[in-house]
Amino acid sequence: MNKRTAVMAGAAAAALAGAAILLPNANASPDKSAEAKTFSSRSAVKLATALASDLGDNAAGWYYEGDTRRLVMNVLNKDAANDVRAKGAVAKIVENSVAELKATTKTLSDTASIPGTAWSIDPKTNKVRVTADRTVTGTKWATLAKAVDGLAGKATVQRTNGEFRKFDGTDETQPGADGGAGQGGADEGAGQGAGQGSADDGAGQGVGDGQGAGDGQGTGDGQGAGDGQGAGDGQGAGGAGEQAGALDGGDAIFGGGARCSLGFNVTVDGAPAFLTAGHCGNIAETWATDQAGAQQVGTTAESQFPVSDFALVTYDDPNTQAPSTVDLQDGTTQEITRVAEASVGLAVQRSGSTTGVTDGTVTGLNATVNYGNGDIVNGLIQTDVCAEPGDSGGAMFAEDAAVGLTSGGSGDCTQGGETFFQPVSTALEATGAVIGADNP
């Protein structure tokens, strides 16, 4: 599997002029008692959800330590800490409640709604982490500094060297064009070849599931020898094995002059459909599996952007067999059987038509990102996973669980960056769609 661990680009804490950057609480070191148990990420989520319900207002968030496999619960007092330890989790007594941190994000929305900024709740520091991109300078930075300075220790600020943007691409955007390694954009017809783009060696991408007879992966800058296209129109041998429309999560979709990525196949009232990004759904009414639009596959039924960022596209052929799978871009797929809520520390992967499969971890929840021009999205998942234009809408998943739909972020898969995702659970609830084993 082609995986690249993304690195936060320039995520050093910035010095605020006339405003103190607040360090994590002095009591932020968790009490890792001898009784602490180890959990899988799935069992940790189950226990944390139950503990949060039992503790009520005394619970203050939680996160999962992937390296130690321990669940860390933030609590507000010693009695709650004892309850947590009794269940085998690690207790950390903190100052800020979940309600206070959510109120902090609301204050930021009211006082510092600045293009190029984002913020999310970080349970590891028990604060709201504010990130400013390279466009936030001068009076914008002064406004942000003043807002954070007035939050009484509930927020910190950091810089990213990139610029927040949505990750939809144009038809001309080729895989690897922004520095990503060459994953062939599934179903886009431009075969990314490891060698000569001949139909015999499978260097081209197929029309159906986007896989040629070979591995379909580019080398170096993401293109094969010559122009990386297979013989003729760039379709590899065996590309006609499936009808257009039999797509997986992460495969390329084209519409309205844009290239995006499919998120997850779903059903709505028994009919096949798929989820993608809402800013993609706003661009096009119809979607195809090829750049020319000859292989139309679906029609946008619902799209929400800004505020949220998801769209529902129904397959034009009601008999389409749309598998609950994600394309791993190496000739294999990952079966998706369930939906999972994101949690900080959760290890995730993302599949998209530009950069293929990349991985990382969830770093923040309840995130807001301001892309500019009034495009502000709330309730997102923040990660250190990289992505590039054309990856919008692509699937974020954790093993067999659907977690998010790619929205946007900063950086790329060469320099690193951060990416924000629309929670899948929210999109399903809004559209009435079901996924994986949740299908009736």
Spatial separation of the C-alpha atoms in residues 248 and 234, rounded to whole Å: 20
Residues in contact with 95: Cβ distance below 8 Å, sequence separation at least 6, in sequence order:
25, 27, 126, 153
For the record, the structure tokens of 132 come out as: 């400013």
Active-site entry in 201, 309, 327, 391: 309
Among this protein's residues, is 279 annotated catalytic? Answer: yes
What's at 308, amino acid-wise?
S
424 touches 402 (CB < 8 A): yes
Active-site entry in 97, 392, 407, 410: 392
Torsion of CA 256, 262, 264, 269, to 10 degrees: 30
**HSE-CB of 26 using CA atoms within 13 angstroms:** 0
122 touches 128 (CB < 8 A): yes
**HSE-CB of 326 using CA atoms within 13 angstroms:** 36
Q: Is the C-alpha dihedral spanning 437, 361, 282, 257 positive or negative?
A: negative
For the record, the structure tokens of 145 come out as: 């500094």
For the record, the structure tokens of 315 come out as: 């397959």
Among this protein's residues, is 33 annotated catalytic? Answer: no
Among this protein's residues, is 392 annotated catalytic? Answer: yes
Active-site entry in 120, 198, 261, 279: 279
* Residue 150 CA, distance from chain mean position: 31
The 10 Å CB-count burial string (b at 16+, else e) for 425-438 is bbbbeebebbbbeb
For the record, the structure tokens of 353 come out as: 């038509």
Catalytic center residues: 279, 309, 392
